[in-house]
Amino acid sequence: MLDVEPYRESCRLQTAALIYSAFSDKFRRPSGLSARQQWRLFYRLWNWKQRDSQEHNFVVRRSGKIVAAFGLTFADSSGNAVLRGRSLPIMRLCRCYGLWNFWRMYLQIAVLQHVPAADEVYLSYLAVDETQRGKGVGKMLLQWIDEYAVARRPNLRLCLHVSQQNVGAQHLYRQCGFRSGQPKQYLSLWLLFRQASWLVMEKNLGVGR
């Protein structure tokens, strides 16, 4: 059984590690840093960004262990912005990890932020532990998100971005009723992730398939 609960700072390390692992193809890049240094830089930036975000973040537990995490952004909600913010020690991080490494990962995290339209809820990320993949966790969570969003406000669209290279995720979303247009090319995302082609996928919430 899966238990969905709001993100709390007490589980930030587990949540960040799960997200970092799930999106390793985007964040782990040749940089002159060790694997541990890349992870520590990601953790510092991710933790700082969570404190000034419109996202509503959730963790998912199975038998007490965090096995998934996801973030939703609504147009009319403050999300994590209610958390007390902390200043980011930019100069110290640049000295520790390198100027280019710091700004690249900073932009990688920042560029994935999205401001939703009034009739939209945005799925910022959906990360599932590798040991739980192929067990229907993603489908169950997308159904939970559908019900949660409709309860907050009817007649919303659930939207997300997915890399054209991520064929598995596209298949999951289409199985769950999402549709997509033609892929769009983004030079900035190619520079940051070496993945230029992305799809916008969406579905109308509260509508039976």
Task: Let me know if residue 179 belongs to a domain.
Answer: no
pLDDT, tens digit (0-9, with 9 covering 90-100), for 21-47? 998 878 776 678 888 999 999 999 998
- What angle separates helix 137-152 from helix 167-175, to the nearest 10 degrees? 50
Tell me the residue type at 126: L
Least confident of 42-51, 94-103, 120-129, 167-176: 42-51
Task: Let me know if residue 27 belongs to a domain.
Answer: yes
Task: Let me know if residue 199 belongs to a domain.
Answer: no
Q: Residue 209's pLDDT is what?
A: 45
pLDDT over 70 percentage in the chain: 92
CATH number at residue 82: 3.40.630.30
Q: CA torsion angle for 16, 13, 61, 73 (degrees, to 10)?
A: -40
Residues of the domain holding 126: 2-156
Q: How many domains does the chain have?
A: 1
Task: Let me know if residue 19 belongs to a domain.
Answer: yes
Q: Give, in order, the Cα–Cα distances in Å from 70 to each of 18, 22, 56, 96, 160.
A: 10, 11, 8, 30, 12
- Cα separation, 84 vs 188, in Å, equals 31
pLDDT, tens digit (0-9, with 9 covering 90-100), for 126-180? 999 999 998 999 999 999 999 999 998 888 999 999 999 999 999 999 999 999 9
Task: Let me know if residue 128 belongs to a domain.
Answer: yes
